[in-house]
Amino acid sequence: MYSVLTRGNAILTYTLSVLACLTFLCFLSTLTVDYRTAAQMNTVKVVVKNVPDYGASRERNDLGFLTFDLKTDLSHLFNWNVKQLFLYLTAEYITPNNELNQVVLWDKIILRGENAILDFKNMNTKYYFWDDGNGLKGHSNVTLTLSWNIIPNAGLLPNIQALGQHSFKFPTDYTQTRV
């Protein structure tokens, strides 16, 4: 009845149960931490072009180009339970076709131990700012928002939005020159 395999199984089961309980208690220790922080954003250059969409429809759509400044300190977000941060900058706006448009313009992964103080000047977007029509030309209320996902060692994957955002306008005329 008490063979080596039975005793090994009992020890392994007990060890895994204790480790699961400790992991859960460690997760509970960071459950109430406030991961919000202030971020300052600003647009430096904003232009809009009307270019052909080489997809199925061959229509012309708006393509926005912008450069931005971003300043924030995320170093206090790292604790023993945070492995990395996934940051992303989104633009939100409303058009007659869509009640809410959200476009991810830029992203960055910050690992534990890396510099988490961001002070970017005149940054280009990483991804295209396409609109599915002509909703960017002359649009007067596009809002930039910085958000991040916390990748923990144990527990929930919260999605946090920075305190602070920036609204800007697109020009009323299309740019014909190369950006």
Q: Kind and range of the H or E element at 60?
A: strand 60-73
Give the Cα separation of 99 and 135 in Å (integer): 12
Write the CATH number for 43.
2.60.40
Give the Cα separation of 100 and 102 in Å (integer): 7
* Residues 107 and 94 occupy one common structural domain: yes
Q: What is the pTM of this model?
A: 0.84
Give me the residue label for tokens 């991961």. Answer: 35
Range of the domain at 26: 1-32
Token reading at 162? 């920075």
Give the Cα separation of 175 and 179 in Å (integer): 8
* Residue 177 falls inside a structural domain: no
* Residues 91 and 75 occupy one common structural domain: yes
Q: Kind and range of the H or E element at 8?
A: helix 4-29
Kindly report, residue by residue over 74-130, the tens digit of the pLDDT: 999 999 889 999 999 999 999 888 889 999 999 999 999 999 999 999 999 999 998
* Residues 77 and 7 occupy one common structural domain: no
* Residues 97 and 43 occupy one common structural domain: yes
* Residues 75 and 112 occupy one common structural domain: yes
Contact 62, 131 (CB under 8 A): yes
* Residue 51 falls inside a structural domain: yes
* Residues 4 and 78 occupy one common structural domain: no
Give the Cα separation of 63 and 91 in Å (integer): 13
Q: How many structural domains are present in the chain?
A: 2
Kindly report, residue by residue over 4-34, the tens digit of the pLDDT: 999 999 999 999 999 999 989 888 888 888 8
